[in-house]
Amino acid sequence: MSTLTVGVLQQPIIWMDGDANLQHFSRLIAQSAHHDLWVLPEMFTTGFSMQAATQSLSETRVLGWLQALAQKHDTALCGSAAIQLADGAVNRFYFVTPQGDFSYYDKRHLFRMANEHHYYKPGTSRQIIEYRGWRILPQICYDLRFPAFSRTINNDYDLMIYVASWPTARANHWQALLLARAIENQSWVIGCNRVGEDENGLSYQGDSQIIAPEGEIIASALPAEATVITATIDRQQAIAYRQAFPVWQDADRFTLTSSVG
């Protein structure tokens, strides 16, 4: 499938109230036109909290909700949630298909300025998810600052998705880095950021965007507004641009090794 109609849910998150957040997102999706893919923010069940994994919904509950909603509305869903596992907590990005199949990626780069690395285990590798002919690279918030981790290797993905709780204080960084990731990788980029204020007094203005491989911003959300942005993106556009302007052929070769452990 060459095209995907994508909806990006730039929304506030009710602090540490998983059921209320799931109800809110369920209503939004039910009230909206059909989309092939819905993108939710980082830690969409709790807000960006260091206690989220131990005080939030279980993995069974979160994943079951995503699967039921995906099947009900014949859509794919993705976003991250704080999940407590037997050997520790992770900030986990789920991608769920309309058939209920799922993939996940655990956040590799943990935001040390909030001590996230003391409360969550880092992921050890990046993942590429296949969906309807698309190859998708999932990323979470602080990952955006590490371009080597997201660099295409012989054009091994078509779309990067960043889900985030990125504060207003560094909004210009968010906007500039999303654009850079699209341009340097000649890839579609979706950035979904939350809005509102959390219990730590941090403000989030969103600035969610959908960016084409050439660097054109084709959809952007108004700052500080709870809203949904939508666009139809075309995989063939990325393929054609890479063929016409093959920067990737001159990219430096490197091997990504883990610093975790």
Integer Cα distance of 190 and 79 in angstroms:
12
Integer Cα distance of 44 and 22 in angstroms:
8
DSSP line for 16-35: T-HHHHHHHHHHHHHHSPP-
Q: Which of 42, 59, 116, 192 is catalytic?
A: 42
Q: Which of 59, 78, 107, 192 is catalytic?
A: 107
Active site residue 192: no
Integer Cα distance of 6 and 210 in angstroms:
9
Active site residue 42: yes
- Alpha-carbon distance values, 61 to 19, 22, 81, 107, 184 (Å): 10, 10, 11, 20, 38
Distance, C-alpha 210 to centroid of its chain: 12
Active site residue 141: yes
Q: Single out the residue of 174, 13, 169, 167 nearest to residue 79, CA to CA.
A: 13
Q: Work out the number of other CB atoms within 10 angstroms of the CB of residue 258.
A: 10
Q: Which of 78, 116, 141, 192 is catalytic?
A: 141
Q: Single out the residue of 133, 143, 206, 147 nearest to residue 182, CA to CA.
A: 147
Integer Cα distance of 74 and 40 in angstroms:
16
Contact 116, 151 (CB under 8 A): no
Residues acting as catalytic residues? 42, 107, 141
